Amino acid sequence: MKFGVIIFPGSNCDHDAFWTIQNVARQPVTFLWHESHDLENCDAVIVPGGFAFGDYLRTGAIAKFSPVMESVRKFADGGGLVLGICNGFQILCESGLLPGALMRNVRLKYVCKPVQVRVENAETPFTNACHKGEVLTIPIGHMEGNYFCDQATFAELKRNQQIVFRYCSPAGELTSQANPNGSLDHIAGICSPGRNVLGMMPHPERSSEAELGGVEGFKIFESMVGAMAVK
């Protein structure tokens, strides 16, 4: 199995994701340049965090036109695994691979801290190493993490069990204090109807080694490796 990590101008978490896959998950991984259509026969693609194209216009609005994203859309349509982290989640929404949008945090401040997220769906290629209701501590770092969609889309997300993570308290409760950005229904991550595309605001690559203060984010990568191993 082989991972690919996209590099956009302004990406700043691409090397973090690469390190986690290569040195912690111990899987083959390559960088994918934003101007190339070639996904280099990767089995999974990571759209990393950062500030692609400086977040000009709005987050992800320019990155979605990159040649690599055309290939990512085709890859996802064919069932390929795509994980969008933070800015990557924003890019996936702008590209139409996931519904909804990420707006400015409700208090209009950049938020960078560890948060708790509750696993709402453990039956995806990204969460099969977790159990439903499990609380993970994973850091966030964003200004536009306030997930929003219209009511029809929201109803569909709930009906199809596409809400994968919700912000919660350490005890797993959905309190207003536990929602760091005002996100609709505490949503921290959603998946596509086919379960092969996941967007999440927390950074699992920043909590995949004990030296970073926690390892619970590694369950996302562990799940992906496990899912690809049984294909």
Rounded Cα distance between 15 and 18, Å, is 5
From 93, 191, 203, 216, the catalytic residue: 203
- What's the chain's Rg over C-alpha atoms? 16
From 120, 205, 216, 222, the catalytic residue: 205
Buried/exposed 46-63: b ≥16 CB within 10 Å, e otherwise: bbbbbbbbebeeebbbbb
Q: Is the dihedral of CA 100, 83, 54, 13 positive or negative?
A: positive
Residue 209 β-bridge partners: 214
Whether 203 is catalytic? yes
Whether 86 is catalytic? yes
Tokens matching residue 34 = 């934003």
Whether 42 is catalytic? no
Q: How many CA atoms lie within 13 A of 199 on its CB side?
A: 25
From 86, 93, 168, 191, the catalytic residue: 86
Rounded Cα distance between 48 and 11, Å, is 7
Q: Is the dihedral of CA 126, 116, 112, 19 positive or negative?
A: negative
Catalytic annotation, residues: 86, 203, 205
